[in-house]
Structure 1
Amino acid sequence: MKLPHRPSTTIFSFIFIFLLPSSISSQICQRSCGKFPLKFPFGSDLGCGDPRFHQYVSCSQGNLMFTTHRGSYPVTNIDYTNKVMYISDPSMSTCSCTQPSKGFGLDWDAPFSFQDDNIFALLDCSTSSSPIFQSNTLYTDKNNSSKVSLCDNQGTSICSFLYSCRAISTINLPISTCCVYTPVDLGPAFDMDLQILQCSSYSGFYSFNERQSDPNSWNYGIALKYKFSVNNEYPSSCPNCERSNGICGYYSGGAYNSFLCNCPNGINTTNDCYFGANYNYGSRLSSWQIGTWLFYCLACLLISVWASSFL
């Protein structure tokens, strides 16, 4: 007598594994990008760090880049203690190189603003038609209480130092075409369009490096302040996540980018990465993951009951 065929445990195991939600595992967020350690709010990939920063700061082939509507710029340093990011502009003129540039600008909704120490000097500007040299061209401040010139009259010495650089002096630019651009306090709306200002290039630096009269020693680049939120505080769950060796991130597939803690094994949780009895693969499952598990377990049970009805 031939016994009826019974669905094997292997078949049910295969069905169970096949139906396991892929969302239980995710990519492992990297802790560095090239030589730079990555800490909140910055992240290596989608779902890592703060979602507001992902579109502006990204890791590409080991290079940390900052992107605005003007272009992409290499990140040269991040001061996590003071929340300042330093970038360089390859089109910027320095004491060793002078070249044409279109300028620099920040996106109006970017969580960045200029560090107060930034100094911008516009180079080779038209003294006859550039708006910065028009005697009646003034900038009205935020409170409309006063007006200031676009050029800093106290910046003549800075222009003198810059024009003593070999790279600038060799093209015989008169110092009168240099303007130390003052309205850098426009916040995220700042946009230095050299085409409109009719200048061929600019130089930016954030420190004299204690040698003001030696432009070869200045720290060229742009310093940008960043803020986590209005109160400039970590999300409440982030410290717990980092203390457990996790990386703060977010659920990129959700409508509200809800907080997730990315653990070293690639499992996302809603809190931390501490191990315990209620953890799976070394990490506690979030509530939505538990619900998904239960759904598929119930589905496997129904399939098993359905298959047994044919025995």
Structure 2
Amino acid sequence: MEQTLFPSPHALLILTIFFFLSPSIADQACQKSCGDIPLRYPFSSGTGCGDPRFHPYITCNDHQQLTFTTHTGCYPISYIDYANQVLYITDPTMSTCNCNQPSKGFGLDWDAPFTFHGDTIFALLDCSSTSPVYSPNGMFNDRNNSSRVALCDNRGLPICGFLYGCKPIVSLNIPISGCCVYTPVNFGPSFEMDLEKLKCGSYSGFYSFNGRESDADSWKYGIAIKYKFAIDNVYPSWCSSCEQSGGVCGYSGPLDSFICNCPPGFNTTTNCFFGDSFNGASKFLPNQKSWIWLVVGLIFKDLKF
């Protein structure tokens, strides 16, 4: 009698189902990091992960670089302080003590859930003598021309002195009178730092003197941005439970309903220990190896020798 080493139709069906399921089982769809930066709620690696309000602004590109995007450009994120809800970004066109270069400015989208952190200081550089920043009446701070704000902080003059003492700026022989220090007190969520409109050549931003106020080369250059979870700014308990169980908070469906994305690729509506699966059935989440051995065992059991 001739031996057959082919699986029965039953085993083939099991194998086919396994291969259809394997893409969702093999990998967790939502990443827990982007490059060297850990990802936690409300940020994410892509669509369906984190909080949908933040996804258009915070993204992880193909090179594993976490990026902050506004209408003025895309900016690398260097660090996220989750405890204090602050993210730190860098602007490649920003001037520092090591490099003076032209820039178009920086701004936040008016409808984005971000504001400038109080530690951020902006200095406008190489401003024209006819710049509106020197107007005693300041300039209008909204499109309706409803109110004026002063744009320069006179207490920031020492900062200008330290910045204009940097070699790249000294070599250009730019007068210090062309420097204006902004502070976030004048920045609303829709503030636009349009350097062309302000008639300034560049700007510098930093969020810490790093303990050496008179040494501009030691300052921490970049922009500190605050974010809020919601109006009450309370970290969602359901997301905390998901993350503690090894999952990543996400959303799905037309209403962007909460899901907990769990390894090895399942979604639940609670957490990764026990939970209602996305289709509504409460169950344990299977381990990838268990699935593989189960399928292999069923196939060999069905083989006819």
Tell me, yes or no, whether TM beats 0.5: yes
Partner of 1:117: 119
Among residues 262, 271, 278, which one is paired with 1:286 in the alignment?
Answer: 278
Relative to the length of structure 1, the TM-score reads 0.79
**Displacement of 1:99:** 0.3
Relative to the length of structure 2, the TM-score reads 0.80
1:232 corresponds to which letter in structure 2? N
The superposition leaves residues 221-240 of structure 1 with CA deviations (integer Å, 9 ceiling, x where unpaired) of 00000111111122331121
Q: In structure 1, what is the Cα distance between the partners aligned to 2:276 and 2:21?
A: 15
1:108 corresponds to which letter in structure 2? W
Q: Which runs of 5+ in 2 are unaligned?
A: 1-7, 283-305
The answer as to whether partners of 1:269 and 1:285 remain within 8 angstroms in 2 is yes
1:58 maps onto 2:59 in alignment: yes
Partner of 2:300: none
The superposition leaves residues 105-135 of structure 1 with CA deviations (integer Å, 9 ceiling, x where unpaired) of 00011111000011110000111x2111123
Over 3 Å counting, the alpha-carbon distance change for 1:185 and 1:271 in structure 2 is farther
Q: In structure 2, what is the Cα distance between the partners aligned to 1:175 and 1:243?
A: 53
Q: In structure 2, what is the Cα distance between the partners aligned to 1:124 and 1:37?
A: 38
RMSD between aligned alpha carbons? 2.8
Q: In structure 2, what is the Cα distance between the partners aligned to 1:99 and 1:55?
A: 28
Q: In structure 1, what is the Cα distance between the partners aligned to 2:214 and 2:67?
A: 31
The answer as to whether partners of 2:141 and 2:191 remain within 8 angstroms in 1 is no
Partner of 1:255: 254
Q: In structure 2, what is the Cα distance between the partners aligned to 1:131 and 1:239?
A: 48
Q: In structure 2, what is the Cα distance between the partners aligned to 1:145 and 1:51?
A: 33
Partner of 1:169: 170
The answer as to whether partners of 1:24 and 1:289 remain within 8 angstroms in 2 is no
Q: In structure 2, what is the Cα distance between the partners aligned to 1:42 and 1:110?
A: 13
The answer as to whether partners of 1:49 and 1:250 remain within 8 angstroms in 2 is yes
Q: In structure 2, what is the Cα distance between the partners aligned to 1:24 and 1:210?
A: 50
Q: In structure 1, what is the Cα distance between the partners aligned to 2:56 and 2:49?
A: 12
Over 3 Å counting, the alpha-carbon distance change for 1:215 and 1:10 in structure 2 is same
1:161 corresponds to which letter in structure 2? F
1:59 corresponds to which letter in structure 2? C
Over 3 Å counting, the alpha-carbon distance change for 1:176 and 1:271 in structure 2 is same
Q: In structure 1, what is the Cα distance between the partners aligned to 2:271 and 2:113?
A: 26
Larger radius of gyration: 1
Partner of 1:10: 10
Partner of 1:293: none
Over 3 Å counting, the alpha-carbon distance change for 1:200 and 1:255 in structure 2 is same
**Structure 2 counterpart SS, 1:180:** strand
> Any residues of structure 2 matched to 1:173-212 within 5 Å, and which?
173-182=174-183, 184-212=185-213
The superposition leaves residues 178-237 of structure 1 with CA deviations (integer Å, 9 ceiling, x where unpaired) of 011245543321210001001010000111111111101111000000111111122331
Q: In structure 1, what is the Cα distance between the partners aligned to 2:22 and 2:33?
A: 25
Partner of 2:84: 82
Q: In structure 2, what is the Cα distance between the partners aligned to 1:183 and 1:117?
A: 8
Q: In structure 2, what is the Cα distance between the partners aligned to 1:14 and 1:182?
A: 64
Q: In structure 2, what is the Cα distance between the partners aligned to 1:183 and 1:84?
A: 15
Partner of 2:272: 273
Partner of 2:299: none
**Displacement of 1:174:** 0.0
Runs of 4+ in structure 1 deviating by more than 4 angstroms, as ranges, are 20-27, 138-141, 144-148
Over 3 Å counting, the alpha-carbon distance change for 1:15 and 1:41 in structure 2 is same
Partner of 1:304: none
Q: In structure 2, what is the Cα distance between the partners aligned to 1:48 and 1:119?
A: 32
Moved more, 8-17 or 218-227: 8-17
1:286 corresponds to which letter in structure 2? F
**Structure 1 counterpart SS, 2:237:** coil
1:74 corresponds to which letter in structure 2? P
